[in-house]
Structure 1
Amino acid sequence: MMASLLAAGVSVSAVAPAFYVQAAEGKQVASVSDYQNHAYKDDIDYVLEKRVMWKYADGTFRPNAQITQGQLLTSLVAVMQLKEKAPVAQLPVGHWAKDIYEKSNKAGILAGVPIDPNRLLTKEEASLIVNNAWKPYHGGIWPGTTNYQHLIARRILPKVWGQTPESPFTRAEAAKVFKFLHIEYNGIVVGRKVADQFHNSLKVTNGVLVGNGPSPKGLTIKGTILKKDGSTIYLKNGMAIKVKATDVQRMVIMVFIPGKPEDVATYSYNELPKLTRVNEMIKKYD
């Protein structure tokens, strides 16, 4: 992940908000945490360590403060390690947030989002931005749900009694979301590489499908080969595949990372002997 705020492409200047200044200038911070007893303390510690959220110049995190649009986007850019840009005409040259917004725009994160770096976000507004960012990795939101409900349904955020989509979205809640996304994003990157390794090992020779299940350290490979006679072959780490291609109805490979029950990469093969694959991670929520 980002080694420093500058590596995230943030231009720190006199007009930059306080939460950038501490990271850039290394000012002495308060020794007593203002989130020590917060329910999301572990999440806040995680995002600070991974440098996807930052403290203010006085050393406080301000967990109950309502997060701004600019802060949320800055963290998303850091989590996703975005580098490519698309112009954002609403922000003038030299504006502290222009770089962040242009990277967000290129990634499609700003779809349906009114540009205002200082806007204090509601839960629904923040959830829209998060779901926009995650669409290329996990597909769209579940049918019939709001953006905020989707984050709850995916267990990215807990449901809190009395909170509505129009309630303020706090920095502590953002920390919980970004911890989840940071772990998932890195898992997806690794999972896709493993799935590519599996895909590249596959070939059909004389009507026989052959390939090798990868054995990635610390990851778990699961999958199935469903045969037309109703029988099933179960895939696992390091397993060699050899089966008559025309006997296969469907093949699926899934990759799991430690501590996360959901798969981080899933691909299906539905047209054997053609080796065409479908990214089910994107498909299943659309």
Structure 2
Amino acid sequence: MSSDISSSSRLSGEPKSTRGAAQPLDPGLYVVSTPIGNLRDITLRALDVLRQADEILAEDTRIARRLLDAHDIRAKVSPYHDHNGAIRRPDILEKLASGASLALISDAGTPLVSDPGYKLVHEASESGHKIIPVPGASALLAGLVTSGLPSDRFMFCGFLPAKSKGRQSEAARLAEIPATLVFYETGPRLASSLADLSEVLGKDRTAAVARELTKLFEETRRGTLEELAQHYAESSPPKGEIVLLIGPPVEQALDQDQIDNALKTALETLPMKQAANQVAAQFNIPKRDAYQRALTLKDG
């Protein structure tokens, strides 16, 4: 942490005339975000890092080359993905130990977010090497800001299970989380996933489907889970990358009659304080409020 702080301080203390210029890369592993569609959605700093890195570790070198060629970057690129990670990591760690500056990219967006890279970053960090984030495009954030759903608190849940039973089980586990839920999904599974989520989370739960973000046919469709499930069940499976977002559960207004009936029932067998505490826990209300209501009911 201290090295990161000193690096930031060093940059902020430079003369204004050089702050926008590319700085020589320190040794370490640079985790670089790349565009999710539009090739211009890449930061100036990311371009600087990709130009200067000793080597770029790419999920798919062919996709990486298209990005690099678009920005006239000639750099050494080698594959790093889930299938060769275990074999490649020792060599990568050795290069970092010798003082190399390496850039890690995925096919699109931010590495490690439903993409390869976690094990490499973890092992590099454990070995004492510097990890430098180079932030940028992210499908989950792009989907969140276009969804119209609450963005003050959200939870990224990755991909839903492929089978219906697994999806419903996962939905039940997430049902009461007071945050917007963000998933990645595939076109062929979207309609069935929406149907399962509607069944478990409720047909009226608000949601949004964002696809092809930053691309020519970008689209965000909003509605209830039932409405979206019906729409995609009646249409062809959508193409492209999909972000599925579901709004937080709506807090139900407490029914005072229910609370009163629960208090009356509890008071038949329990002392007032104990009865009030039991009902307070049941309805998630302050114990003091439950006790005052119990007094009113008893006096009445």
TM-score, length of structure 2 as denominator length: 0.28
Larger radius of gyration: 2
